[in-house]
Amino acid sequence: MPDPKGTIGILTGGGDVPGLNPAIRAITIRALREGYRVLGIRRGWAGLVDLIPDRNADNSENVQELTEPVVNRAGRTGGTFLHTSRTNPSTLPGQLLPEHLVGRYSGEVVDVTDSVLAHLDFLGIDALIPIGGDDTLSYAGRLHREGVPVVAIPKTMDNDVPGTDYCIGFSTCVTRTIELTHRLRTTAGSHERFLVIEVFGRYAGFTALLPTMAGAAHRCVIPEHPFDLDHLAELLVYDRNRHPSRYSVVLVSEGARIEGQDEFSFEGGEADMYGHRKLGGMGDRVASALKEVSPRFNDGRRINVVNQRLGYLVRSGDPDAMDSIVPMAFGNLALDLILKGITGRLVSVHRGVYDSVPLERVAGSQKGVDVERFYNTDRLRPRYTSFDELPVFIMTGDR
């Protein structure tokens, strides 16, 4: 077998979504057929932190050579067989230093980027393809500035990575949200209740707004615009009383904020290495409040609530068609750039066309719903305007 042209590394970071394994498969098969060796970095950036740069060391927990049989088995499944983490090598807690780095760094939080660079060199990585959201890709930008050839692929259910209209995982998330919301309608209708469903979306409300536009819910509240609880209750009572089965539905983004209360709703106090505390509980707060205030708008009678957090149900399992096709295209786009010697790019979709943008775009802005254009803040629902020349997912275009 001839010597490889070079070595390409792949890693997945942050939350899992359907579509990661198809992306890994596409990159690997194309790279192998172009004559490259492919290494999978396990557990995101953690694999490069924990790697022991010794030929005699067992690094099977940190790196895996990828072959066609390996990726073909995984390519039709959800999740990531390379595993993932929220490790940030630039802000690594000192107590998480692997044994071989203890003594080299000191402090409660340390930046081990120089070790990551040395470990990439030890592996002989000629180009690195990280797949992740803005946190994972922000560190990819750091490595690019340090001289590492990087081509990145956007992944996040929230679809909030700047520079692209589409991120891997979004379509499956929206598909599952619509499907599960419709399933829960039977219970809400049987008991004549409000149906409150909490969906993902820390800073961007696409996963609440788009299913609502598709008819899954009557109303939605999103991170981009604080909402008034009394007004939401009034609208839901109106919707319920007009419905033949006497129920109404609201989708609540996990990052939604109640008017006059700037804080998010958190599950706990511990933050990850990117400074994010885990969100959760806004649906519970809304459900509890709706029961209390509903009598004001319903002739003094309280309306009970079916309250459900979709959570991991929308990010687990197999990818839908879109999240099988787009990762394949993104993987090949990444290889196209590498073969041309072009790095420091984020592969992207813009107005329905595959493209790439500078990786710096990820750190340069925040992507969210254009409220004025797509969200009716008085009616707490999508704004239906002209659809001419809009992207497939309507409000997800990155201008």
* Sequence-distant (≥ 6) Cβ neighbours of residue 114 within 8 angstroms: none
Specify the 3-state DSSP secondary structure of 98: coil
If one counts every other C-beta atom within 10 angstroms of the C-beta of residue 238, the result is: 15
* Contact indicator for 11, 40 with CB cutoff of 8 Å: yes
- The answer for 181, left when phi > 0, alpha when psi is -120 to 50, beta otherwise, is alpha
Amino acid sitting at position 185: R
CA distances from 190 to 46, 187, 306, 313, 366 (A): 48, 5, 11, 23, 41
Specify the 3-state DSSP secondary structure of 82: coil
Question: DSSP assignment of 200-234, as one string?
Answer: --SS--HHHHHHHHTTS-SEEE-TTS-B-HHHHHH
- Report the C-alpha gap between 94 and 66 in whole angstroms: 32
Catalytic-role residue among 16, 50, 158, 165: 158
Is 160 considered catalytic here?
no
Q: How far, rounded to the nearest angstrom, does the alpha carbon of residue 218 sit from its chain's CA centroid?
A: 25
Tell me the chain's radius of gyration from C-alpha atoms.
Answer: 23
Q: Copy the structure tokens of residue 294.
A: 């509903």
Nearest residue to 252 (alpha-carbon basis) of 289, 213, 283, 211: 283
Active site residues: 158
